[in-house]
Chains A and B, each alone.
Chain A
Amino acid sequence: MNSAAVSPSVALPWADDVQVLADVSQIAREQLAPAAYRIDHEGYYPIDIMAKLGQAGAFAGHLDQYGSRYGLAIESMHEISRHCGSTGFMTWCHDVCGLYMEQSGNPALLARLPDHAAGKTFGGTALSNPMKAFTGIEKMALKAKKVPGGYRVNGTLPWVSHIAPGQYCGVIAAVDREDGSRSHEIMFLLDLDERVTLRKCPEFSGMEGTSTWAVPLVDYFVHEDQMIADPVRPFIQRVRTAFILLQVGMASGVIQGSIDSAREVESSLGHVNQYLHDRPDELQAEFDDIKAQAAKLAETPFDGSKDFLLDVLDLRARGSEMALKASQSALLHQGARGYLMTSAPQRRIREAHFVAIVTPALKHLRWEMAKQMRAEVPA
Chain B
Amino acid sequence: MSKQSVDQATPWRQYICLACGLIYDEEQGDPDSGLAPGTRFEDIPDDWECPLCGVTKTDFELLERQEITVCDQPMQFNRKPGVVVIGAGIAGWSTVEALRALDSAVPITLVTACTGDTYHKPELSVAISRGADKKTLVRESGYQAAQRLGVQLMSQTFAVGLSPALKQLRTTRGSLNYTQLVLAQGAQPILPAQLPAHLCWRVNDLAGWSGLQQALAQGKQSVAIVGAGMIGCELAEDFARAGHTVTLLDRNNAPLAGLLPGKASSRLVSSFNQLGITYVGGVDVTGVAALDNGKRSITRQVGQPLEVDHVVAATGLATDNRLARHAGLQFERGLTVDPHTLRTSDPDIYALGDCISIDGAPCRFIEPIKHQAQAIAHAVLGLDAVIYEHKPPVIRLKTRAMPVVLHGQPSADGTWKTLLDTPDELVMEQYQGSQKISHLKLGSLGQSRAA
Contact = CB atoms under 8 A, between A and B. Distances in A.
B160 interface: yes
Interface string B387-401: 000000000000000
Contact of A289 (B113, B163, B172, B310): B163
Contacts of B199: 378
A275 to B, nearest CB: 15
Interface in A12-28: none
Given A310-B160, A378-B199, A379-B198, A373 B165 contact: no
Binding site of B, secondary structure by majority: helix, strand, loop or mixed?
A: mixed
A319 B17 CA distance: 49
A370 interface: yes
Given A375-B208, A377-B197, A366 B172 contact: yes
Interface string A286-321: 100100000000000000000100110110011001
B345 interface: no
Interface residue range, chain A: 20 to 34
A321 B160 contact: no
Interface string A310-350: 11011001100100000000000000000000000000000
Nearest to A365: B172
Contacts of A318: 161, 170, 175
B1 interface: no
Contact of A285 (B165, B170, B173, B208): B165
Contacts of B156: 370
Contact of B170 (A317, A375, A378, A379): A317
B172 A369 contact: yes
A263 to B, nearest CB: 20
Contacts of A369: 158, 160, 172
B115 interface: no
B38 interface: no
A377 B170 contact: no
Nearest to B311: A378
Interface in A238-288: 285-286
Given A318-B161, A373-B113, A378 B200 contact: yes
A369 B156 CA distance: 12
Nearest to B188: A375
A285 B165 CA distance: 9
B166 interface: yes
B201 interface: yes
A285 B166 contact: yes
A374 B208 CA distance: 11
B130 interface: no
A366 B310 CA distance: 33
B162 to A, nearest CB: 10
A375 B190 CA distance: 12
Contacts of A285: 165-166
Contacts of A30: none
A317 B165 CA distance: 18
Nearest to A376: B197
A244 to B, nearest CB: 14
Interface string B174-212: 110000000000001000000001111110000010010
A314 B161 contact: yes
- Max count, chain A CB within 10 A of own CB: residue among B158, B172, B175: B172
B13 interface: no
A370 B166 contact: no
Interface in B210-236: 211, 215
B160 A373 contact: yes
A364 to B, nearest CB: 11
Contact of A370 (B158, B168, B170): B158
B369 to A, nearest CB: 22
B172 A373 contact: yes
B80 interface: no
B263 interface: no
A310 B322 contact: yes
Interface string B319-332: 00010001000000
Contacts of A307: 322
B170 A314 contact: yes
Contact of B198 (A311, A317, A376): A376
Contact of B165 (A289, A313, A376): A289
A307 B170 CA distance: 15
A367 B165 CA distance: 26
A314 B172 CA distance: 9
Contacts of A311: 161, 326
B120 to A, nearest CB: 21
A369 B172 CA distance: 6
Nearest to B204: A375
Interface string B42-53: 000000000000
B201 A377 contact: yes
Interface in B97-150: 113
A314 B160 contact: yes
A370 B175 CA distance: 14
B158 A377 contact: no
Contact of A313 (B160, B163, B174): B160
A286 B310 CA distance: 49
Contacts of B208: 375, 377
B165 A378 contact: no
Contacts of B166: 285-286, 289
B283 to A, nearest CB: 21
A369 B322 CA distance: 13
Contacts of A321: 174-175
Nearest to B196: A376
A96 B369 CA distance: 50
A367 B166 CA distance: 24
Contacts of A314: 160-161, 170
Contacts of B161: 311, 314, 318
Contacts of A376: 197-198
B36 to A, nearest CB: 39
B158 A373 contact: yes
A378 B172 contact: no
Interface string B325-355: 0100000000000000000000000000000
A378 B209 CA distance: 11
Given A373-B113, A373-B158, A373-B160, A378 B174 contact: no
9 contacts: A310-B322, A366-B173, A369-B172, A370-B156, A370-B157, A373-B160, A375-B197, A377-B211, A378-B310
Given A377-B198, A378-B215, 19 more contacts: A285-B165, A286-B166, A286-B168, A289-B165, A311-B326, A313-B160, A314-B160, A314-B161, A318-B170, A366-B174, A370-B156, A370-B158, A373-B158, A374-B113, A375-B188, A375-B202, A378-B199, A378-B201, A378-B310
Nearest 3 pairs of A and B residues by beta carbon: A376-B197, A373-B158, A314-B161
